């Protein structure tokens, strides 16, 4: 076959097979027999092997798998994948809806959806072709699982219709119960243990290095969230329907998987229906998600530090089981907090095998009046580690010994202390207690803190056990010769670790402050303190009244900050970190003013002198605020080339000032 003819035939076969795939998996229709379909696919595979240069990115042969991915790379999300606030209470759903009505202008519409129990995924498409697929991860960055996602037949490789040139769609990858059961039957046949539950198996499957194995397991996916710049979409429900036109498998409104309503009664009707009928679904759900439909109203309602205000997840009440409390062990955290954990006789709960349950603190043990060998009730209650919620007293005997909370640290033997007004017991031997030393160092090197490449928890364990480090300041004294011969180390790994330490000296002050592990000083508080005081010296010397005058800094945080600097060893560690070059003051940026304070900007289109992100940074540096959609609260639209006509019209209709790139520069110059 000639090359030109081969290229044409490969394109024809690819399009034809993709069309049959869409008919079968999205519309439940079939125009040809399985045999005829297989023959088409075999012909395409043969042609692509002969002429690999003509294989398309959207070729259906990608669905067969076979590519090996040795390492899943981490990728930063273009749009953060925030988690939703959860509730098990219908009253809290009612309170949430009432609160939104007070905060928002105009009548609200809501979208109710199933909360699929799977793996959150974000998939980017460019010019209608699947570019990359990223797991949720920690919300800021996730793992690139593109090769494996291509094997899922309900995820289109090439789109149809009037799709945007560049956008991301989000949803949930899950294991259909039928396919999960089939997989476990296959494992039993070959003498392997069954997988515990569909959700964890779906997550593990997405991380398998061999995409052929992924293809054989039969994962599925619903996609329902469209994200991008300059999308001509007004609401969430409408975007879901539009995504269906582009070729995506979206929640079926005819099956009541998704519903739009304008009342709390409609929300409750949806919740009650699926609480009763969820067992009839061919996949697992663990609740219902409710969102404000209109994108402008979403923007007005905004976000908290962790989740959007305009959405909430209602989780169905947890399953309860009864089992035996066999023993209690005590774990020591990086702050010295001691947490009791119950060891249980293994029992099935919510599709997983449960052997441990959190007891939280001594008050909880006392409240439940726990005895060893008690028959206890266990629930998951939305937590990773299940919890004990009660005792079957009818089964207690005189042989069951009452549990007494320990008096000494299980790691170093120091006497435990319980501070007034707190529920937790603490070990104060922070400089010699191994879990505290390791925990503080692991916190220091974490991705949201110093983000030191080449250094993980296992390496920290080895460094502490070999007594090469006793604090995070000691990391910067490490030498190549000290670390090159450690377990799992070598020349390259040692070089990477030292380079990671050197690069961490460029980490900005607010993250350095967070990395110190001051009690109650999380990411947000660290940013507030850094912005309020500009340097570590100013924070160290700040009076109590000065600390609580900073936004979001209360008495508890202020006292904790002051106590941290009263410890001579903490000050000594900071001085050592200063000496090696870490950033302990805010780097003042040139051009920072308050010229745009109180003004809301929408930046849209393509610009000549600056990128869109650069313009947004300039707005923030000068006190302005960037918003993503146009509303009556928008002061200016900075419009570049190719800005969507709908946005321009909306800005004009609302009488909002539209600035060109040059006019924006003039505004800055006064």
CATH number of the domain within which 482 lies: 1.10.150.20
Exposed/middle/buried for 670, CB within 10 Å: 0-12, 13-18, 19+? exposed
Task: Give the three-state DSSP class for 187.
Answer: helix
Among left, alpha and beta (phi > 0; psi -120 to 50; other), residue 81 is beta
Asked if residue 292 and residue 155 are part of one domain, the reply reads yes
In which residue are the tokens 């007034």 written?
420
Asked if residue 265 and residue 173 are part of one domain, the reply reads yes
Q: Among positive and negative, which fits the CA dihedral 267, 269, 272, 275?
A: negative
CB 354 within 8 A of CB 386: yes
Residue 242 placed within a domain? yes
pLDDT of residue 14: 87
pLDDT of residue 363: 92
> Beta-carbon neighbour count of residue 8 at 10 Å?
13
Asked if residue 306 and residue 254 are part of one domain, the reply reads yes
- Bridge partners for 327 per DSSP: 343
Asked if residue 113 and residue 217 are part of one domain, the reply reads yes
Asked if residue 324 and residue 308 are part of one domain, the reply reads no
Identify how many contiguous H helices and E strands the chain contains and give both numbers. Answer: 24, 22
Residue 247 placed within a domain? yes
Percent of the chain with pLDDT over 90: 52
DSSP secondary structure string, 652-666?
A: HHTT-EEE-HHHHHH
- For residue 104, pLDDT beyond 90: no
> Beta-carbon neighbour count of residue 43 at 10 Å?
14
Asked if residue 296 and residue 212 are part of one domain, the reply reads yes
Asked if residue 202 and residue 102 are part of one domain, the reply reads yes
Mean pLDDT, range 48-63, rounded to an integer: 81
* Mean pLDDT over the full length of the chain: 88
CA distance 314 to 308: 14
Question: By C-alpha distance, which of 124, 164, 151 is closest to 245?
Answer: 164
pLDDT of residue 667: 87
Asked if residue 350 and residue 308 are part of one domain, the reply reads no
Q: What letter would DSSP give residue 308?
A: B
Domain count, the chain: 5
CB 368 within 8 A of CB 403: no
Task: Please say which residue of 522, 550, 580 terminates a domain.
Answer: 580
> Beta-carbon neighbour count of residue 489 at 10 Å?
16
pLDDT of residue 48: 84
Among left, alpha and beta (phi > 0; psi -120 to 50; other), residue 253 is alpha
Residue 115 placed within a domain? yes
CATH number of the domain within which 167 lies: 3.30.470.30
CA distance 288 to 277: 12
Mean pLDDT, range 546-559, rounded to an integer: 88
Mean pLDDT, range 604-633, rounded to an integer: 80
CATH number of the domain within which 654 lies: 3.40.50.10190
What tokens appear for 73 in the block?
Answer: 């790379």
- For residue 154, pLDDT beyond 80: yes
Tens digit of each residue's pLDDT (9 = 90 or more) over 557-583: 999 999 999 999 999 999 999 999 999
What tokens appear for 22 in the block?
Answer: 């869409």
Mean pLDDT, range 337-349, rounded to an integer: 92
CATH number of the domain within which 51 lies: 1.10.287.610
Please state which of the ranges 16-25, 201-210, 423-432 shows the lowest mean pLDDT.
16-25
What tokens appear for 309 in the block?
Answer: 């205000």
Judging by DSSP bridges, how do beta strands 600-604 and 625-626 pair with one another? parallel
Which tops the pLDDT comparison, 132 or 182? 132
pLDDT of residue 588: 65
Q: Among positive and negative, which fits the CA dihedral 57, 61, 62, 67?
A: negative
Distances in Å between the Cα of 463 and the Cα atoms of 352, 472, 505, 635 are 35, 11, 21, 55
> Beta-carbon neighbour count of residue 497 at 10 Å?
24
Task: Please say which residue of 315, 338, 369 terminates a domain.
Answer: 315
Distances in Å between the Cα of 193 and the Cα atoms of 172, 188, 456 are 26, 6, 31
Mean pLDDT, range 211-230, rounded to an integer: 90
pLDDT of residue 383: 44
Tens digit of each residue's pLDDT (9 = 90 or more) over 258-281: 999 999 999 999 999 998 888 789
Rounded to the nearest 10 degrees, what angle do helices 612-621 and 661-668 cross at? Answer: 20
- For residue 594, pLDDT beyond 90: no
CA distance 60 to 40: 11
Mean pLDDT, range 192-210, rounded to an integer: 83
Mean pLDDT, range 11-18, rounded to an integer: 87
CATH number of the domain within which 365 lies: 2.40.50.140
Length of the chain (residues): 670
Asked if residue 626 and residue 549 are part of one domain, the reply reads no
Residue 75 placed within a domain? no
Distances in Å between the Cα of 498 and the Cα atoms of 482, 485, 513 are 11, 14, 21
pLDDT of residue 61: 81
Residue 592 placed within a domain? no
Percent of the chain with pLDDT over 70: 94
Residue 424 placed within a domain? no
Mean pLDDT, range 62-91, rounded to an integer: 80
Mean pLDDT, range 595-599, rounded to an integer: 87
CA distance 325 to 332: 21
CA distance 229 to 241: 19
The pTM assigned to this predicted structure is 0.54
- For residue 591, pLDDT beyond 60: no
> Beta-carbon neighbour count of residue 4 at 10 Å?
9
Residue 587 placed within a domain? no
Active site residues: 115
What tokens appear for 564 in the block?
Answer: 């941290």
Asked if residue 241 and residue 204 are part of one domain, the reply reads yes
> Beta-carbon neighbour count of residue 218 at 10 Å?
17
Asked if residue 274 and residue 197 are part of one domain, the reply reads yes
Task: Please say which residue of 280, 315, 350 terminates a domain.
Answer: 315
| Distance between start and end Cα atoms, the chain | 68
- For residue 589, pLDDT beyond 70: no
Question: By C-alpha distance, which of 416, 463, 412, 466 is closest to 434?
Answer: 412
- Bridge partners for 216 per DSSP: none
pLDDT of residue 155: 95
Residue 324 placed within a domain? yes
Distances in Å between the Cα of 367 and the Cα atoms of 363, 371, 418, 425 are 6, 12, 17, 16
Mean pLDDT, range 461-467, rounded to an integer: 92
- Our CA angle for 301, 307, 309, nearest 5°, is 25
Asked if residue 576 and residue 621 are part of one domain, the reply reads no
Rounded to the nearest 10 degrees, what angle do helices 177-189 and 198-206 cross at? Answer: 80
Which tops the pLDDT comparison, 392 or 4? 392
pLDDT of residue 382: 44
Which tops the pLDDT comparison, 124 or 83? 124
What domain range includes position 382? 320-395
Mean pLDDT, range 142-151, rounded to an integer: 93
Mean pLDDT, range 435-454, rounded to an integer: 91
Please state which of the ranges 26-35, 114-123, 363-372, 471-480 shows the lowest mean pLDDT.
26-35
């Amino acid at each position: 076959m000639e090359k030109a003819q081969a290229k044409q035939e490969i394109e024809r076969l690819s399009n034809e097979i993709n069309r049959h795939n869409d008919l079968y998996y999205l519309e439940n229709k079939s125009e040809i027999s399985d045999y005829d379909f297989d023959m088409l696919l075999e012909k395409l595979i043969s042609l692509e092997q002969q002429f690999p240069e003509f294989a398309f990115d959207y070729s259906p042969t990608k669905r067969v798998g076979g590519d090996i991915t040795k390492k899943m790379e981490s990728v930063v999300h273009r749009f953060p994948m925030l988690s939703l606030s959860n509730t098990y209470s219908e009253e809290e759903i009612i309170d949430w809806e009432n609160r939104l009505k007070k905060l928002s202008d105009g009548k609200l519409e809501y979208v109710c959806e199933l909360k699929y129990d799977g793996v959150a995924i974000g998939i980017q498409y460019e010019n209608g072709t699947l570019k990359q697929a990223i797991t949720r991860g920690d919300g800021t960055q996730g793992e690139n699982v593109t090769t494996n996602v291509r094997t899922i037949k309900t995820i289109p490789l090439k789109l149809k219709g009037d799709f945007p040139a560049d956008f991301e769609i989000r949803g949930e990858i899950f294991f259909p119960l039928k396919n999960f059961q089939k997989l476990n039957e296959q494992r039993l046949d070959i003498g392997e243990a069954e997988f515990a539950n569909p959700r964890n198996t779906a997550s593990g499957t997405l991380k398998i290095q061999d995409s052929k194995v992924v293809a054989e397991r039969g994962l599925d996916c619903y996609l329902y969230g469209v994200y991008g710049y300059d999308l001509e979409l007004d609401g969430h429900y409408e975007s879901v329907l539009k995504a269906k036109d582009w070729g995506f498998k979206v929640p079926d409104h005819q099956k009541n998987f998704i519903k739009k309503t304008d009342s709390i009664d409609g929300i409750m009707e949806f919740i009650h229906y699926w609480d009763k009928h969820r067992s009839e679904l061919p996949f697992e759900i663990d609740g219902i998600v409710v969102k404000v439909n209109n994108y402008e109203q979403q923007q007005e309602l905004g976000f908290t530090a962790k989740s959007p205000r305009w959405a909430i997840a209602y989780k169905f009440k947890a399953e309860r089981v009864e089992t035996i409390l066999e023993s209690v062990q005590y774990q020591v955290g990086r702050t010295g907090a001691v947490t009791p954990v119950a060891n249980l006789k293994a029992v099935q709960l919510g599709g997983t095998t449960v052997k441990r349950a959190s007891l939280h603190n001594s008050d909880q043990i006392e409240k439940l009046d726990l005895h060893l060998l008690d028959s206890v009730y266990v629930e998951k209650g939305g937590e990773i580690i299940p919890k004990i919620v009660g005792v079957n007293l009818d089964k207690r005997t005189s042989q069951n010994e009452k549990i007494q909370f320990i008096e000494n640290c299980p790691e170093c033997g120091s006497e435990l202390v319980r501070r007034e007004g707190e529920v937790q017991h603490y070990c104060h031997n922070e400089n010699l207690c191994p879990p505290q030393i390791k925990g503080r160092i692991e916190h220091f090197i974490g991705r949201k803190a110093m983000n030191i490449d080449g250094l993980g928890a296992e390496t920290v364990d080895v460094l502490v056990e070999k007594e090469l480090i006793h604090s995070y300041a000691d990391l910067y004294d490490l030498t190549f010769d000290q670390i090159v011969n450690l377990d799992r180390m070598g020349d390259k790994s040692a070089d990477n670790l030292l380079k990671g330490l050197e690069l961490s000296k460029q980490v900005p002050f607010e993250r350095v402050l967070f990395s110190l592990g001051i009690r109650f000083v999380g990411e947000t508080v660290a940013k507030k303190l850094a912005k309020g005081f500009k340097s570590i010296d100013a924070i160290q010397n700040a009076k109590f009244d000065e600390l609580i005058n900073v936004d979001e800094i209360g008495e508890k945080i202020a006292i904790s900050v002051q106590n941290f600097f009263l410890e001579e060893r903490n000050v000594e560690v900071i001085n050592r970190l200063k000496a090696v070059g870490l950033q302990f003051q805010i780097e003042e940026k040139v051009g920072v003013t308050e010229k745009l304070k109180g003004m809301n900007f929408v930046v849209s289109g393509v610009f000549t002198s600056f990128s869109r992100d650069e313009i947004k940074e300039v707005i923030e540096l000068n006190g302005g605020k960037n918003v993503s959609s146009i509303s009556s609260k928008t002061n200016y639209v900075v419009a570049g080339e190719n800005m969507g006509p709908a946005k321009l019209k909306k800005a004009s209709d609302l009488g909002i000032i539209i600035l060109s790139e040059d006019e924006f520069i003039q505004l800055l110059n006064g």
